[in-house]
Structure 1
Amino acid sequence: MYRHLKFAAIAAVASLALATAAFAQAPGTRVDQILSRGTLRIGMTGDYRPFTFLNKGTSTFEGFDVDMAESLAKALGVKAEFVQTSWPTMMKDFEADKFDIVTGGVSITLDRQKKGLFSTPIMREGKTPIARCADVSKYATIADINKSSVRVIVNPGGTNEKFAREYLKNATINVYKDNVTIFDQIAKGDADLMITDASETLFQQKLHSGVLCSVHPDHPFDFSEKGIWMQRDEALKDFVDQWLHIMRETGGYKTIFAKYFD
């Protein structure tokens, strides 16, 4: 009996030692990994102005979320490392752990929430049309747009295409892969309109002054919010949320916002 108890005790101690060793070798939080690596890997499409734009001349990213991401990296005390992705491949790249966070006008969706965590919302808005200024009155409602005679242009793989497929089943939908020049197709008359986030329609209205106009951006068709999508790690989410809170309270967010949207 004594020998059995002694053996059991030895086995228990050995198991505890193995468990302790395994725990010691287990990776820390995502924040620990980022600090150890010295870089924050940031996924971006680079095709969604004014949030993110890949300048091919300089091979650098520019935009609202670029400045925000660089501020976050600075708060962490690491370098910002931008990793290009695309709307159709973003989910796959996220699951493959190609980046720590994804930003650049990323909408908060339940499908994305299943795979990771979102920061507190950065911006609230919704989908609204942008069309040639002379045609704005034609496209005030979904019913106005949901006709076979209306040519709706969409970029592939994101929430814009998802919205169009769900609500515009009768309209003629054209998938156009270059999200940088997509609005030029409307200006040229090759498409009638695009439905996208209100913030983007206002920015493109400014770029195509007098040619393209946003349709009721203050009263979008739906509700959505943008946030920073990150790998499932509570320590990282806590840090990002606190950083956002400080940015809002100290005016840092307002300064960056004004640079691109005012």
Structure 2
Amino acid sequence: MRIAALALCGFTLVVAPAGSAIAAGCAFEAQGDGHVAAIIDARTFRLQDGREIRLAGIEPVVPETSAASRAPALSAILTGREVILRADDDTPDRYGRQAAFVFLAASENSPTETLVQSELLAQGEALVSAMVTDKDCAAALMAAEAAAREAKRGIWADPAAIKNTESPGDILAGIGRFMVVEGKVLSVRQAGATTYVNFGRNWTRDFAVTISRRVLPSFEAAGISLKSLENRRIRVRGWIEARGGPRIEVLRVGQIEMLGGN
């Protein structure tokens, strides 16, 4: 299914190759640099000075593991390389890891900086996170993911990589995991402070998206009426929860993509 437009993010999705065009979208303030000493898991590595860096803006395609041998794609890109860290700030998380958009430093073989996140996405070895707030960066990352999906690289070689809302059991099997789910919206209903985007009639079994009242202003700012989603095919990404049937809570407009066709 081709994406007609990433309308809910307020911009049209343009598929672009990995590289400088992608990097330009996530060119935040530099937060230091260093030499990669070890790969910890599919999106975390250690610099020679001891800092642990976590790749911002992406989610691994499989549950994370501490075994570096389970992260061959990241190892191939980063092992022994010099990197530049870019982010809004360098405050470590509660585990002491610094989240950053990581760029391979320019070299003789590559005269421009290369965004590691875009490389993983373009290989089909990662998914765009639901937590990217910068519009230009989100567009760049989504373009890299879309290119891999179109070419059926990595995870996208498996037709089941995108879960179908008509098979809620398959979605529920991934409870606690980050997933991409696609289907036709049956109805949009509000109950109290929550709006439910329903893909089936049985709330105890079928998949639904939940949107808190506090998030509604961001949809309004994007010119989106949630009722307009009825009878539209959409793709949504986020963490799978079980509240009766499987659920994804939408916290940002960019978690939802409108697809061409009904």
Bigger Rg, structure 1 or 2 = 1
Q: TM-score, normalised by structure 1?
A: 0.26
* Structure 1 or 2: more helix by fraction: 1
**Normalization by structure 2: what TM-score?**
0.26
RCO (CA 8 Å, sep 6+): is it higher in 1 or 2?
A: 1
